Structure 1
Amino acid sequence: MEIKIPYGKEKQALVLDEACLNGVLLSQIEDYHPEQTESELVAAAIANPEGSDKLCQLAVGKQKIVIIASDHTRPVPSKIIMPQMLKEIRRGNPDAEITILIATGFHRLTTREELVAKFGETIVDQERIVVHDSGDDSSLVEIGTLPSGGALIINKLAAEADLLVSEGFIEPHFFAGFSGGRKSVLPGIASRVSVLANHCGEFIAHPKARTGVIEGNPLHIDMLYAARTAKLAFVVNVVINSEKEVIYAVAGDCDAAHIKGRTFLEKLCKVKATPSDIVITSNGGYPLDQNIYQAVKGMTAAEAAVKPGGVIIMLAKSNDGHGGAAFFNTFRDEKNLERMLAGFVNTPRNETIPDQWEAQILARILLKAKVIYISAAPDEMIKEFQMTPAKDVNAALAMARAYLNNEAATVTVIPDGVAVIVE
């Protein structure tokens, strides 16, 4: 049989004997077809908010309004969401001073070209857009202390806004449970200091810091506290399918709307897996597979389905390379994975090093299974991460079978590793 797996803006075709196939794990999102158009879904959500007044009502009398928007690494359909949010705000307050604040979190700064691809020329040319820089202390201000004990420091524009709102999307998240909602503030527009405290080794190692888990998740507790303290008043979040189309939308209070959205998503994306010798997955293609750093997310789905000592085949184009210097340097400088993990867990919360959470999770995966990594990144870079480079999924499958010395090795395929919660 042939299975198409996302890779960059294209797909690779895996050809597989069904006799060795344990299963293809897919979200049921692809089977969900709403009667309304994407724009209609967003409009209906904005018109019927959860746990909040309407956005136009919130805007009345508010002069400085900030809309937090996701960055270039997130496939949020901002061309659909942002015009409606702007229109609704101006319906309540035509004279509002609106700033769109790009939530880069710990990522690199978003380019103008990426902003145009995200919003379109009209919004980029006509609206005030500021790209958040988590390392620019002059643009940040402390507003409290996180439950974890770290300082809560966020962008001044958000802290000084008369009304703070956000757009985003909800998907399974490999340590925050789900993306969206409260994550617009932390890590979205937070200082590196706050992100590091929240993403500490102790929290990442916590058994509740897993895909689809919210209750008792220490990272989520920090994130929701940050959103409340920053007075995030209204969110518009969507659920998208593999074609990046809106199939569901929620709006309103950052927690109430998020609960409704993730409840909907959870029913569609939970899957059960029979452990296999080889698990093949991806990061859902562009824009989520632009670097190795982001691809760790999809690998966690395979981690939950692969047998100990098995092989994970990961497809992620990674045209941006490693995605984080500190992330890369950790693997370049420390080859002993057990020692690396122990170091992370024993690092005090306020001494967390940049990107150690991604390194911590990748090291955990590598201790369970061999990883063959299909990408456009340099082979030597892939090898520094203790992964085996490859360019084609069928060649990678042959490599995996040779490594296991088992031509009959069982295979599970998870075409989009970030779209499912593997139980």
Structure 2
Amino acid sequence: MLYKFKYDQSQLALDIDQKRVLAEIKPAVVPILIDPVVEIHRSLNNPIGTAPLKEIARGKKKAVIVISDHTRPVKTELLLPPLLEHLDEAGLDSKQITIIVALGIHRPLTETELENLVGPRIYENYRVINHQPEATKNYGQTSAGTPLDLNPLYYEADLRICTGNIDLHFFAGYSGGAKAMMPGLSSRRAISNNHKMQLDPRSTSGNLDDNPVRRDIDQAGEIIGVDFILNLVQNEEKEIVAVCAGHFIQAHRQGCREVDRLCKVKIPARADLVIASAGGYPKDVNLYQAQKALDNAAYAVKPGGTIILIAAAPEGYGEDTFEQWLLDAKKDPQQVLKRLKKEFVLGGHKAAAIARVAVKNKIIAVSEMDPELISLAFMEPAESLHQAWQEFDEEQDLSILVMPYAGYTLPYEEK
């Protein structure tokens, strides 16, 4: 059978005898929204846990809309026009609205990228800016000690709207909700304090209720305030299957249930070999992002087994600290894990996430990156998918799981 894997903007294919494959792990087939814009308007008028957006916005003087950056597959161009239309009907004009890109510590977008993200009309008529993590102000702290260092434009607004997708997240459980604010509009030290809680074993993909990272995010939202969220749930083809709007916790939890229905996939057993694609662009834009797919694949592979990670990573490592930690480790994953225990550093946490998989499993990477850079990330470089497959082709007793959308799917065994 010919198995296909997305790779940047294209795809790769591999012919494998179907009898050797335990399962192909794909998201569930869920009906897509025929007209997402109509559903967005309906959700803004009939939100979960709050009054309609127009009622909340009426009489407000200064609004901030938080949007995701280019590394997230969010259909911002669909979200913004209905939002802005409702704010206009509530009496806010364009000069009262600021749109902030929630970068966290990602690189700032160029003006061209900002225009492409929101569309020319919105770019020309509204203030659209990058978050600056070095220009935050402190407004207290959470019970976990995370400093509430936030973008002052957000804090000073009397209407705060967070947008984005709800996906699986490898240590926050799920993206979406108040995560656009924390870490999206936070300082490096705030993000670092929040993210270091990923060392807690409860900080895992798909775990919500007792996840300390998500608890910290939600508490930040409660203290600072999130007036309204507009979140999308998308399938592996980036088609919208659900719109969740309203209260930043109640609406978010509904979205998480939709993600569970879509992305949590039962497997018959762990396999000797897992062939996993991050899911193409933007899930594999760089290794920093593609790591999430590797983390999901780790739930499907046996201890001592192999993961073939298919991730083009045209932007390379994708983050400076992440890169430096990998270079400093000199191909020894244990060095990264020891270092993280001594000092939690943002960016280093991603290197440690790869290292945790690498100490248990062999990782072969099919990518556009320089082979030496792949080796420094504790992986074996392969020139092509076919080359990566060659050493397993003759091993007839090898059990195999195929994950064409590893960035979107969380495998689990029935306990």
TM-score range, shorter chain: over 0.9
1:105-116 correspondence to structure 2 within 5 Å: 105-116=104-115
Which of 217, 234, 238 aligns to 1:244? It is 238
Which residue in 2 is equivalent to 1:282? 277
1:20-59 correspondence to structure 2 within 5 Å: 20-28=20-28, 31-34=29-32, 36-59=34-57
Which residue in 2 is equivalent to 1:319? 314
Which residue in 2 is equivalent to 1:219? 213
Which residue in 1 is equivalent to 2:141? 145
Amino acid at match of 1:276: A
3-state SS in 2 of match to 1:76: coil
> Partners in 1 of 2:92 and 2:356 — Cα distance?
52
Q: How far does residue 190 in structure 1 lie from its aligned partner after superposition?
A: 0.6
- 1:278/1:310 contact within 8 Å kept: yes
Structure 1 segments, 4+ long, off by >3 Å, are 405-408
TM-score (norm 2): 0.95
3-state SS in 2 of match to 1:43: helix
1:73-84 correspondence to structure 2 within 5 Å: 73-84=71-82
> Partners in 2 of 1:332 and 1:375 — Cα distance?
18
Q: How far does residue 66 in structure 1 lie from its aligned partner after superposition?
A: 0.2
- 1:186/1:223 contact within 8 Å kept: yes
1:60-81 per-position Cα deviation (integer Å, ceiling 9, x unaligned): 1111100000001001111111
Which of 160, 180, 184 aligns to 1:164? It is 160
- 2:32/2:239 contact within 8 Å kept: no
- 1:143/1:229 contact within 8 Å kept: no
1:37-74 per-position Cα deviation (integer Å, ceiling 9, x unaligned): 12122122111111111111111111110000000100
3-state SS in 2 of match to 1:418: coil
Q: How much identity, in percent, do the aligned residues show?
A: 33
The answer to whether structure 1 residue 372 and structure 2 residue 359 are counterparts is no
Which residue in 1 is equivalent to 2:305? 310
Which residue in 1 is equivalent to 2:407? 418
3-state SS in 2 of match to 1:328: helix
> Partners in 2 of 1:151 and 1:236 — Cα distance?
25
Structure 2: gaps spanning 5 or more residues: none
> Partners in 2 of 1:308 and 1:126 — Cα distance?
54
> Partners in 1 of 2:64 and 2:213 — Cα distance?
24
> Partners in 1 of 2:101 and 2:284 — Cα distance?
20
> Partners in 2 of 1:102 and 1:93 — Cα distance?
24
> Partners in 2 of 1:249 and 1:307 — Cα distance?
36
1:265-307 per-position Cα deviation (integer Å, ceiling 9, x unaligned): 2122211221111101122211121100111100011101111
- 2:60/2:92 contact within 8 Å kept: no
3-state SS in 1 of match to 2:117: helix
- Output the aligned Cα RMSD: 1.5
The answer to whether structure 1 residue 363 and structure 2 residue 362 are counterparts is no
TM-score (norm 1): 0.93
> Partners in 2 of 1:230 and 1:282 — Cα distance?
38
Structure 1: gaps spanning 5 or more residues: none
1:121-150 per-position Cα deviation (integer Å, ceiling 9, x unaligned): 11112210010121x2xx311111122213
